[in-house]
Structure formats: C-alpha cells, structure tokens
Structure 1
Amino acid sequence: MTATIYHNPDCGTSRNALALIRHAGVEPTVIEYLKTPSSREQLVMPIDEAMLKPREALREKGTPFAELGLDAPGITDDTLIDAMLKHPILINRPFVVTTLGTRLCRPSEVVLDILPPVTRPFAKEDGEVVIDANGKGGL
C-alpha cells in the first residue's frame, strides 16, 4: 500500500495519524506542507477526493482566517483556495491519501478507514486508547 500524509509535525493530531499509519505497517511519503507549499492542483486534489468543500478544509484556530475576512458571506471556493495557497497554515491537517481513499484525519483515528486492518494495541501520544489489547476500537 502507498500512503501520503500532508503533515504538520507541530500538530498532535497529525503526529497521531502518522503514528497510526506506521503502526499499520505502512511507511508513508511525508509532506510537511508548511515547508513544501502545494500547487493549486496538489491542494485541490485531496480536498476533492475527500469529498469536502474548501471551507471544510480550512483551519480557523491559530491562523489569519479572521484577519483575512474568510468568514464573510459570499467568499468563493476559489478565494478560499487562493488564501490556503498563500497561507498554508489555513489548511486543516492532516490529509492522508492511500490506495484505499483520501481523508482529512480529524480526529486522527479517521485514518483507520483508509488503512489495512489494525488489531495491535495503539494509544495516542496523550494516552487515549484507539485500539485496545483485544484489537477493538477504531471508528
């Protein structure tokens, strides 16, 4: 299986999704999207494949969302995409693309939808159990 994660190492959700991917035995391509800005096509592709609207892929907290007026009525999808390209911190994370699909992995365990079955125990970095000792859990 191939996998790509659009990752922000400063984000706990992104770190947990990456750890779950590796726990499933998959070594993904890791794209630190804040260091390696996407082209318009590279940004739109995972949003479309995850069946989201650009507004659903926007991050508000800790970003220039409000200063840019992106909450104003009538803002077009193209305007939102342009803002995300100019300010990648506006892109919600992590997006994960595998041969089984594409998801915005918030919460991180959403990634289990697009990975091979995982039955070994796994806990997030804060200790929250995602898969217990009996192989139960997930979404």
Structure 2
Amino acid sequence: MKATIWHNPACGTSRKTLAILEETPGVELTVVQYLKTPYARDKLVQIIRDSGLSMKDAIRTRGTDAEEKGLPEMEDNAILDAMVANPAYVTRPFVETDKGVRYCRPQDIVREIL
C-alpha cells in the first residue's frame, strides 16, 4: 500500500504518525516535508476536502501568526492563498493512502486508512 505523509519533523504528532507508517508492514511511504516542498494548490484543496475538514478547520493557528493575519475570518479562497504562500498555516499531519485521507491528530487515526 502506498502512503504519503505531509510531515513536519518538529511536530511530535507528525513524528509519531510517521513512526506508525514506518512500522506498518507493506507500506510504501512517501514523506513530504511540506515546509521545504510546499503544497500545490490543487493537492491542498483535495487533501483538505478528502479529510473531511473545512478550510477553516485546516488552519494552524498555534505557533503561527494566522490569527493576527485574520485567516480564520477569511473566505476559503483567501485562506487557501495564504496556505499555499505559507505552508506553516496548514495544520498537520495529513496522510493519504488508497483508502482515503486523514488529518492524523491524534496519530492513531492513521490506522483507519492502513
């Protein structure tokens, strides 16, 4: 099974999710460090939609200036523009497999798509 994680190595939950993926037999893993390799707009739209989150739910406010910049009050397209320009505004971690996409907080949620 192929799996992709949008990962931030500084995030404990992201590291724990990655460990679950690495420890699961048969997982062919792609790790995207999204702060180094930012999201393509279309892909970001797709993973947020497929995870069941709203654009507002996908905003990372902790550790960012997203609230000061007014992201939670913006329309979806403006939020998306900000996320593409600054991937730190995207919450984490997201994992995609053939079985779907999950926002893996807590990390054990990843097991739903393995």
Instruction: Please give the TM-score of this superposition, normalised by the length of structure 2.
Output: 0.94
Give the Cα–Cα distance (whole angstroms) in 2 for the partners of residues 36 and 45 of structure 1: 17
Instruction: Indicate the residue corresponding to 2:15 in structure 1.
Output: 15
Amino acid in structure 1 at the alignment position of 2:72: D
Unmatched segments (≥5 aa) in structure 2: none
Q: Distance in 1 between matches of 2:85 and 2:68?
A: 14
CA distance in 2, matches of 1:71, 1:40: 19
Q: How does 1:1-139 map to 2 (within 5 A)?
A: 1-25=1-25, 26-72=27-73, 75-115=74-114
Report deviation, 1:27: 3.5
How many Å separate the matches in 2 of 1:71 and 1:105? 21
Two-structure CA RMSD over aligned residues (Å) = 1.0
Question: Which structure shows the higher helix fraction?
Answer: 2
Identity of aligned residues (%): 47
Deviation readout 1:71-130 (Å, 9 max, x if unpaired) = 33xx21111111111111010011000011100001111101111xxxxxxxxxxxxxxx
Task: With a CA cutoff of 8 Å and minimum separation of 6, indicate the structure with the bigger relative contact order.
Answer: 2
Structure 2 SS opposite 1:58: coil
Cα distance between partner residues in 1 of 2:15 and 2:28? 14
Q: Helix, strand or coil: the match of 1:35?
A: coil
Higher radius of gyration, 1 or 2:
1
Instruction: Structure 1: give runs of 5+ residues left out of the alignment.
Output: 116-139
